[in-house]
Amino acid sequence: MELFWYIVLMTMLAIYVVLDGYDFGAGIIHLFFAKKEKDKKAITNAIGPFWDANEVWLIASGGVLFFAFPTLYASSFSGFYLPLMMILWLLIFRAIGLELRGQIHNKMWESIWDKAFGISSLLLALFFGIALGNVVRGVNLGNVVNGVSTHEAHFFFLPLWNPTFSPHAEQLGIIDWFTLLLGIIGVIALTIHGANWIIFKTNSDLNEKLKKVVFNLNIVLLILVITSILVWHVIEPKPFHNFLNIPWLWIFPIITLTGLFGLFKVKTFKKHGLGFLFSSLFLFGGLTTTVASIFPKVLPSTNSINPDLTLYNVAADAYGLSVGVYWFAVAAVLVAIYTFIQYKVFKGKMDDVGYGEH
């Protein structure tokens, strides 16, 4: 049952990254490229009916984490308390930036909330990439100091950064050069994803420019991905051992590369949705490849005193996990129906939705 709930949790997180990821990317595009009022409205129209529903996947993932893997939930929410509070406030400011902008028709008022929306989206993309970097790198479980564990084996706490900015320091920080690299990859990937969504859902004057932006950023993304693979050996001596032992796992890197190289054809796509499809494949493949590389670990330990947290030593009781399957089945059907209706109602271009206008 642990494996089933692990697959459920990772699937929900992947769906969240793909769906709310285009919201973050649209916010970044809004911040840097939308200079005219009609372009700003086109972007908010494209995400307006969807962004709050997309965030439900994050809340649902937290619920599954709490139910199925309570030890991991307790460990992560205490250890990552500072960045989680920052993410919470960024989500709030992104939401109110969208909702409050149209309440008063004043240039200064609109500019403030435009910046709140754009900067929050940028920082959220950065922090979620950094979060993935922390999971890959691992944490100092038990807060080991000079070879002695000062807390329980699953406990840790990280400051925002440490003075050395190194992923090999005994007392790690949230941000170091490795996690920051993955954070930048997250920003670039979600900017591409958001641009593809805008191209898919609008007839904005920005669309031709955004195709060039996607192509150019994809070159940067390719370079950063290659760099991250090379430096991965610095963090994990045998980063591909799972793929060598379980050959079918190579499907996830193949999905990632399909999405990455498919994006180089964005200028020639006749169907506007193809770019979004390829960026979705890259995000899904990138997340699942990363997860598969550390399986069955869910939070590696950077010291030799306390063991890694795995899906088996952080899971809830087997009886509870079994009973939860029935309730999950009901919830999954309801969510599937809601999502189908939502995207059916708002299919096609969104230029005339008028989201946020009062």
Provide the 3-class DSSP secondary structure of residue 169.
coil
Torsion of CA 221, 222, 223, 224, to 10 degrees: 50
Task: Give 96-134 pLDDT, tens digit per residue.
Answer: 888 888 777 778 888 888 899 999 999 999 999 999 999
Query: 357 in a domain, yes or no?
Result: no
Categorize the per-residue pLDDT at 355 as very low, low, confident or very high, splitting at 50, 70 and 90: low
Task: Give 317-336 pLDDT, tens digit per residue.
Answer: 888 888 888 888 898 899 88
Task: Give 215-243 pLDDT, tens digit per residue.
Answer: 999 999 999 999 998 888 888 777 788 88
Task: Give 8-28 pLDDT, tens digit per residue.
Answer: 999 999 999 999 899 999 999
Query: 352 in a domain, yes or no?
Result: no
- Calculate mean pLDDT across residues 70-88: 90
Query: 350 in a domain, yes or no?
Result: no
Residue 300 has pLDDT above 60, yes or no: yes
Residue 343 has pLDDT above 90, yes or no: no
**Residue-number span of the structural domain to which 281 is assigned:** 2-345
Residue with tokens 């965030």: 55
Report d(CA 203, CA 284) in Å as an integer.
Answer: 26
- Calculate mean pLDDT across residues 260-271: 87
Report d(CA 70, CA 298) in Å as an integer.
Answer: 12
Q: Say what the pLDDT of residue 356 is.
A: 59
Categorize the per-residue pLDDT at 357 as very low, low, confident or very high, splitting at 50, 70 and 90: low
Task: Give 94-106 pLDDT, tens digit per residue.
Answer: 888 888 887 777 7
Q: Say what the pLDDT of residue 327 is.
A: 86
> Is the Cβ–Cβ distance between 39 and 213 less than 8 Å?
no
Task: Give 178-217 pLDDT, tens digit per residue.
Answer: 999 999 999 999 999 999 999 998 888 888 899 999 999 9
* Number of domains present in the structure of the chain: 1
Compute the half-sphere exposure of residue 140: CA atoms within 13 Å on the CB side of its CA. Answer: 21
Residue 169 has pLDDT above 90, yes or no: no
Categorize the per-residue pLDDT at 260 as very low, low, confident or very high, splitting at 50, 70 and 90: very high
Query: 96 in a domain, yes or no?
Result: yes
Residue 297 has pLDDT above 80, yes or no: yes
Query: 278 in a domain, yes or no?
Result: yes
SS3 content of the chain, % helix, strand, coil (to 5): 70, 5, 25
Query: 351 in a domain, yes or no?
Result: no
Residue 358 has pLDDT above 60, yes or no: no
Report d(CA 176, CA 169) in Å as an integer.
Answer: 10
